[in-house]
Structure formats: structure tokens, C-alpha cells
Chain A
Amino acid sequence: MKQIYRVALAGNPNCGKTTVFNLLTGARQHIGNYSGVTVERKTGRCRIEDIELEIIDLPGIYSLSSLSPEEKIAFDEILNNNIDLILNIIDAGNPQRNLYLTTQLAELNIPMLMVFNMIDDAERNGLVFDFSKIESFFGTQVITTVGTTGKGIQELKNKIFELVKYPHVSEPCRLKYGESADSAIADLSEKIDKLGLALTKRLPPRYFAIKMLENDETICSISELESLRTEILPIQERLTQRHGISAETFMADRRYGFISGVCREAIHISNERRRQFSDNIDKVMTNRWLGIPVFLIIMYLVFQFTFIVAEPMMGWIETFFGLVSWSIEEVWPTDTMPLLRAMVSEGIIGGVGGVLVFLPNILLLFLAIAFLEGTGYMSRAAFVMDGFMRIFGLHGKSFIPMLLGFGCTVPAVMATRTIESERDRLTTIMVLPLMSCGARLPIYALIIPAFFVNQYRALIMLIIYLIGIIMAMLGAMLLKSTLFKGEDEVFVLELPPYRMPTLRSIIIHMGERCLLYLKKAGTLILAASVIMFLINTFPAKTEFSVDYNAEIAKVEQTPGISSEIKSTRIAELETGRRKESLEYSLAGRIGRSMNVVMAPLGFDWRINSALVGAFAAKELFVSQLGILYAVSDADEESSPLRMHLVSNYSPLQAFTIMLFCLLSIPCIATVAVVLRETRSWLLTIGQMIGLIVLAYLVSLIVYQGGLFFNIGTEMVNVINGA
């Protein structure tokens, strides 16, 4: 059997780890989740010469402690899996902070290679390295790379090959913790070694000793080490007395001391010009007064961008599906299996196609989010918005999942894993579905252009999103003052320097999301479309109030009217028939039975049945409406569905519909992920009920209020032109 070597990439957040990972593995990546938790686990394959490597991209961490979920995961991965080589990626522009992790990795006695990434940036900023000295300090070799251009990657591969093929344990790191501490560590290591644990076969006892003295949660909770717990206290006390700092921070203090020594000897700064550009941008971006307005403008531009750029692309896709549907109907004779024919051309192509039309919107939104993430603006947004979030009992870190929530609620719920406080995390999850996700975008994208003139579209969109945000905030405030009461926890966030994200990383990210969306369209939405088609068709109505066939025949035979009028009349009759059979169908019945409750919101049975579809996936709302309004003479040039909507609803109704879709129950996928993340049926069901009640009340107030003040009850003619 051929052996696969395991290589782990470890490094601080924002050190360009993922870029190196992408360069090493190319497209051969596998994204999954760490078991038990949902921090993303990325692995990829890489071949160098005749050896096969599995590359593991550990989450970005500052330290090998267990103070955050990421750190715990990285540590578990190293502890439990045989790692053949650690690639320690270091942002060469910021060695002091980055080498802190190195000091800890070096204590693991696992073969290691230091990769000074972004070396071009560092050199431009006047840093001069003496790598041979650094190598001797840490006992490992050094490679320099430039992730954005791929420079040094070949050398990196060669070095990996060499180190994996001919492994030798690196020389010990020269870090010492001082005489008294070192002897205590040596004593303790010996005792740990005597226990003969399986753990210490992989990692040196000294490492466990150090971590125990640091009060590391994970290590201290290892039951085999329980017996040594009592021996640690006196040692810690002695260290505290001797050095005047608590044992917890003693090691950190020593490590940084060692690093500053390394930096003094091996790194020279020729001119102090660091991050000048980035700092200047930040003077505006995170300014006390300008920060929030700038943030709002950026969000506005993102929405404007997703709308304007997507519009023509959506036209192409629409045309494409129209063509597919048309050619199927041409090729497939009407009388062979008419039901299946209808299901394929109306149900499947109508449903899936109706959803895929919005692929450009989703892609562009993810593009914008990926770009903002790549530049480093996301953490600024968290910084800027923290004060605002705190009014509602949340903090800046909840803000990043919420921003992701604009893309899709499912990854956003997963992203809450970075919030250390369980109370804050649950609060964030509970209100996350209120952040308008990408799947709701098709609904707005359908309705807004139909009812509102060009210059107001982005504004209406922003208002919808803002209502969601405000509701989320109020909900969070309520939850934090009742269910999840408690003190806030430590908050530390790094604001990385601004960087231009590489096109490659954005495209990879976009590609991932695109695939996920297509997968969803191909599975969940396809299945739901078929189900929706079936409940739209059955039970089939045989007896109509009017004999439509006869009526149509009558119109056709009436002499003395032009063919134009004839076809209009026929179309009217066809629509009437369709309407009757739809009302008779299961969907129609469900829709009508909901009427009693939903009528005060201005919804008719069509909207109601589309809302049922929206529970499966929000996008289905659009396709269900499409099916309900589908007409035989669909005109490909203008959007027929929009025309139907305009003739059936007032702008106020349209707005209320969007509002209800925004606030009401999350889709099945969200419910599932919320259940998995909260591990509580109570919270999951509570969230569903809460959201429905909220959606109903808000929609009711808006619709009835609108009716009362006579706002938007009639369509203005100018708007109709859209």
C-alpha cells in the first residue's frame, strides 16, 4: 500500500495560509467539517514526484492554547492524527506576533518547516532577515514564498519532499523559560513520562508539562494527568512569587522575551514605513464619526452592484431556459404522456430554471462578500459596528456571521462558532434568519423591478435589508435581557492590514458557493419543484363552471373579428380554466384554507401556496408563483410573471409580501443547521414559532397601516413601464 504523508498548515489568521494551501493543492480540495463542531475543515491532495501528500489547512490561530474553538481544533488535530510535517506559515511582515505560535509548534517535536510568506511585502517595508540565524534559533529550516504570485512554491514543494522522504527530528528550539521554571518543567515532564501514556508517544512529555503549568484547559482535563494536578499548584505559586507574574502568563512572557531576542539578532529594519497605506485608509474607514456612514455606503454599493451587473446575465439565463422549454415542447408530442411532459416543461424547468435565473445575483453577492473578506474590511466592519451591536446586547464578533447571513443563513449559523460566549452564540443563531439571505434575493429581484422605478430599487432593497437587521437587533436585545442574560466576555479582534485579495482566491471561493447553489437547485429545489407541481395539478378538475373547450371553439368559429382579438379571447379563457383547476388543486386548497388568517395581510391564495413552497427553500416562492401564473402565450421579451404581478397586486401588497418572506420561517436547511448547532429542539421550534408570529404581526401592521394612510395602494402609471 502506498503511504500518504500528512502535512498540516499552521499559522496566524491572515498570514496567507489559505493562499499557500490553494497553491499546493490546486483544485484537489475537500471541504468538510470538523466532527462535533462546524469550523470548516479543509484538506487537499498534492503530489510531489512520487509521493502523495494530504494537506490539512488548520484554522488560523495565534497560540496553541485552548482558548477558542479554532485553537482547540488545531490542537486536537495535531494531538490525535499523525502529522508528518508541520508547515508553519508566517507573515514575514509581522514576525514578532507570528513567531509566537512557532515557539509552541517547535516544542511539539514534530518535523517542521517555517514558511515566511509575503516576503516581498516585508522586504518592501524594509525588513531584512538573517534566515540562518532564525533557523538556528528555532531548529527548523526556512523557506520564503510570495503567495499572491506563487513565487517560492516550487522550492517549498522540493523542501517538503525532502523533509517527508528523509525525516529527521528538528533540533530543539532554543527557547528556555528561565532556570527555576526549566527545572520545574523537567521534573514534571519526567513524572508525565513515567505515566507511560499513549499521548506521550506522539508528543513529548515536556510539552504537556508546559501546558499544565500554563493552566491549559484541554491538557488539564486529560484524565490520565489528573494525578499530577495537585503537584502543579505549588510550582505555579513559586513561579508567581519569584517572578511577580501569574503562572498563566509567565510562559507567554518568556516566549515573547525569546522572540524579541530573535528579532533583535536576526531581523533588521532599514526604514520604518510599515503599513502606512493601510493606516491611512483606516483613518477614514474606522474613524469615530465616518466609520458607520462609510460602512452603510459600502453595503449600498454592494447591493447596487448585485443588481445592475446581474440584470443582463439574468436575461441570458431566462432566454436559455425559455429555449429549453420550447424545444422540449416541440420535440415531445403533446399526446405521449402529457402529464410527464407538463411536469418536465412546467414543473422542473419552470421551477429549477426559475431559481437558476438568480444565480448571477447570488454569485455577485458572494463575490462582493469574498472581496470584502479578502481585503480585511470585514473585521473593520465588526470593529465599527461593535458599539451599535452592544446596544442590543451583542458584540462585534456576532456581526461577521450576520454579514455572512446576507449570503446564506446556513454557513452563517456555522460561522457563529467563532463566538466564544455560548450565550452570545445562541442569541446570534436565533436572530440570524432575519438577516436577509441570498435565497430571498430572487423574491426581491422579482418583485422590486416590477413595482418600483429604477432609481428607487436599490433604496427599497436597502430598506428591506434594514428592516431585517433592525428586527434581528430588537430580537437579540429581547433574548439577551431574558433567556440569555449574563455578563459579556473578553473581546479581542485583530484588524489585519488591508490587502488586495488575489483573483484566484476570490474565484475559488465563488466557485465553491456557486457549486453549493447548483447542488441545492439540482436536489432540494428539484425535488420540491416536483412536489409543488404535483400538488398544483392534483386532484385534477374535470367539471368546470364554464365549458372552456366549447367556448374556445366558439370564439374560433366566430366570424367577423380579427385574429388578434380572437387569440386574446382564447388566452383569457385559457387563463380562466387554469385558474379554476389550480384553485381546485391541493395547492389551491391549502392556499385558500390559509386565506382566513392571511387575508388581513393582503395575501391571496396564490401567495399563500407559494409561501408553503418557501419553507422548502426560499427560492421556491418565485417558482411557485411562476407556475401559478404561467400562461400559454408566454412572451419572452418582457418578464411575463412581473406583468401578472403588477396587474394583480398593489405596491403595498408587494412590499408586504417581501416583508413576510423576509421575516417568516427559515427554510428547511436553516432549521436543520440550527437544530444541529443549538442541539435543542426547544430553541429550534421556538425560533420557528417566534419568527412566524413576528412576520405576521409586522406584515399586518404594515399592510393595514398602509391601507389606512393610503400608501402604495395603487400602481402609478410611470412605474408600470418597468
Chain B
Amino acid sequence: MAIAEIISASGHAHTKDIAERLKVKMPSVTNALQALSARGLIRYQSHSPVVLTALGAEIAAVILRRHNALKSFFTEILKLNSDEAEDAACKIEHVIGEKVMSRIVTLREAIAERGDCVALREYLDGTMPQICADSKIAREDLIPLSELAIGHTAVVIKVGENLRGVRKFADLGLVNGTVVTMEGFAPLGNLMRVRVMGSSLSIRSNDAAHIKVKITQ
């Protein structure tokens, strides 16, 4: 795909350009090119530019179309910015099949164009960017509960799915949005105590590490 883009930009692709674009080392590119060449998708000889075969060009076009379809879904419907959309599309295009892809395309077109989706479009315009902003903050400010400084207060934002006994913690009030205050650690070992809803709970720090919190003050 990268090769196709470079070719469309400059007519041909050099191994060096490909390596720069994909941010990989030259030998890896050489390896990959040899593999593609073996499958008859490109014509490749050392020290000369890479050229797509007819079959190669056809496949490249399909790949490019898929990529762009996903990217526009991310930008138009999920309201991600171009970089985020590019990033997400690159990751997802390799794992979904043609059927899923064509349905995503249909969904995008339906939402973007159909007259009965006006209200939905407005809703998405309003809601999606907010979610985006939130997750961005979350990523920067979240710390594991186990690393909260003594005496500091924080809000539970996310309870990790790997946490053992998740429901037990939930029963005791460790759910999203709960305010917790770090009270200290036990002598030896890894027990810590946190104030949750007016009572003091003692839990293991390795469990607490799965609970992500955001400091309030």
C-alpha cells in the first residue's frame, strides 16, 4: 500500500523511500520486497526502483480503497482527526474481512447521506468530539490507584478488566466515579488502605494497580 502511494506520488519507489515512510530498517524492506516479488505483485531488482505488476496494481487499489473507506468512517462518523483516523485505519484494515468492510462503508454512507439521519448526524456532531477530548485527558492524567500519594484524593475513572474479584470491589463501592483517598500502607507486604465512601478499605496494591484514578486536587 505504501509502495502504491509512493508510486502514485513520484511514479516509482526506491527501497530507501519505502523504508523512510514505514519507519523500518532497509534490510526489512528488502525482505518484504523479495516476498512481494515472489508472489508476483512487484518487479524488484537491487538498485533499481520498484515497479508494480498488473496484478500488484490491482491489489494495491483494493487495499487503498479499503484504507480510505475506513479512514473516512473514522473522520466523518467518529469525528476523529486525520492523524488518529489514519492510525486507527492502518491497524484495523488488516484484521477485518471484506464483508465487515462493505457493511461499514454502507453504514457510513447511510449516516452521511440519508435524509432520516439528520438528527443522528447532529447528535454525532455534538457528542463524538467530547468523547474524543475526554479520552485524551484520561490518557494523560490517569494513574493507578496504587500510586496515589498518601493523603491525596482522586476519582475512579476506570476499573481494569484484568482485576481479580472485580465484582467484590464493585460491591464495596469501587466503581467508576467513586472518590477515593489514599490513607497509607501496611508495614511490610503490599497492603494499602484507601478511604472509600466514609470507610476505610484495605486492599492489595497489585489489585489497586488495575484501578485507574484521576487526581482531583
Task: Show the binding face of A for B, using Cβ within 8 Å.
Answer: 62-63, 65, 67, 93-94, 96-97, 100, 214-215, 245-246, 248-249, 252-253, 256-257, 260, 274-275, 282, 286-289, 291-292, 379, 383-384, 386-391, 396, 489-497
- Nearest residue, chain A, Cβ from B189: A387
Known: A100-B173, A256-B175. Is A490-B164 also a contact (CB below 8 A)?
A: yes
- Give 28 pairs: A residue, B residue, CB < 8 Å, sorted on A: A93-B198, A96-B173, A96-B198, A97-B198, A246-B161, A249-B166, A249-B167, A249-B175, A288-B184, A291-B187, A292-B187, A386-B189, A387-B186, A390-B190, A391-B189, A396-B186, A396-B191, A489-B164, A490-B169, A491-B203, A491-B207, A492-B172, A492-B201, A492-B203, A495-B193, A495-B199, A497-B199, A497-B200
With the chains together, A387 CA to B143 CA distance in Å?
24
Question: Separation in Å of the B173 CB from the closest CB of chain A?
Answer: 6
Q: Is the interface of B mostly helix, strand, loop or mixed?
A: mixed
- Choose from B167, B189, B199 the contact partner of A67 (Cβ within 8 Å): B167
Contact A253 B191 (CB under 8 A): no
With the chains together, A496 CA to B173 CA distance in Å?
15
Task: Give me 9 other A-B pairs in contact (C-beta within 8 A), A252-B171, A494-B202, A495-B201 excluded.
Answer: A214-B167, A245-B176, A282-B183, A383-B186, A388-B187, A390-B188, A490-B207, A491-B191, A492-B202
Contact B201 A490 (CB under 8 A): no
Give the chain B neighbours of A494 by CB distance below 8 A: 172, 199-202
B197 is an interface residue with CB less than 8 A from chain A: yes
Contact A286 B167 (CB under 8 A): no
With the chains together, A142 CA to B191 CA distance in Å?
37
Please report which residues of chain B, range 167-217, place their CB below 8 angstroms from some CB of chain A when the two chains form the complex: 167-173, 175-178, 183-191, 193, 196-204, 207
Contact A62 B186 (CB under 8 A): no
B70 is an interface residue with CB less than 8 A from chain A: no
Give the chain A neighbours of B175 by CB distance below 8 A: 249, 252-253, 256
With the chains together, A288 CA to B177 CA distance in Å?
29
With the chains together, A275 CA to B187 CA distance in Å?
22
With the chains together, A67 CA to B165 CA distance in Å?
9
Contact B170 A248 (CB under 8 A): yes
Question: Separation in Å of the B4 CB from the closest CB of chain A?
Answer: 35
Question: Separation in Å of the B198 CB from the closest CB of chain A?
Answer: 4
Give the chain B neighbours of A383 by CB distance below 8 A: 186, 191, 193, 202
- Nearest residue, chain B, Cβ from A68: B168
With the chains together, A482 CA to B156 CA distance in Å?
39
With the chains together, A53 CA to B175 CA distance in Å?
39
Contact A253 B186 (CB under 8 A): no
Contact A491 B186 (CB under 8 A): no
8 A-B pairs with least C-beta separation: A387-B189, A387-B188, A490-B165, A252-B170, A63-B171, A495-B200, A96-B197, A249-B170
- Choose from A93, A100, A252, A390 the contact partner of B167 (Cβ within 8 Å): A252
With the chains together, A275 CA to B200 CA distance in Å?
10
Contact A387 B202 (CB under 8 A): no
B159 is an interface residue with CB less than 8 A from chain A: yes
Question: Separation in Å of the A275 CB from the closest CB of chain B?
Answer: 8
Give the chain A neighbours of B172 by CB distance below 8 A: 62, 97, 492, 494
Contact B164 A386 (CB under 8 A): no
Contact A256 B178 (CB under 8 A): yes
Contact B201 A493 (CB under 8 A): yes
- Nearest residue, chain A, Cβ from B203: A492
Question: Separation in Å of the B159 CB from the closest CB of chain A?
Answer: 7
- Nearest residue, chain B, Cβ from A488: B204
Q: Provide the B2-45 mask, 1 if CB < 8 A to any CB of A, else 0.
A: 00000000000000000000000000000000000000000000
- Nearest residue, chain B, Cβ from A382: B202
Give the chain B neighbours of A491 by CB distance below 8 A: 191, 202-204, 207
With the chains together, A383 CA to B192 CA distance in Å?
9
With the chains together, A224 CA to B167 CA distance in Å?
24
Contact B184 A286 (CB under 8 A): yes
- Nearest residue, chain B, Cβ from A104: B171
Most chain A CB neighbours (cut-off 10 Å) among B177, B190, B191: B191
With the chains together, A245 CA to B169 CA distance in Å?
14
Question: Separation in Å of the A294 CB from the closest CB of chain B?
Answer: 10
- Nearest residue, chain B, Cβ from A495: B200
Give the chain B neighbours of A496 by CB distance below 8 A: 199-200
Question: Separation in Å of the A696 CB from the closest CB of chain B?
Answer: 32
- Nearest residue, chain A, Cβ from B169: A492
With the chains together, A253 CA to B178 CA distance in Å?
10
Contact B188 A65 (CB under 8 A): no
With the chains together, A315 CA to B165 CA distance in Å?
54
Contact B193 A286 (CB under 8 A): yes
With the chains together, A470 CA to B169 CA distance in Å?
33
With the chains together, A246 CA to B210 CA distance in Å?
15
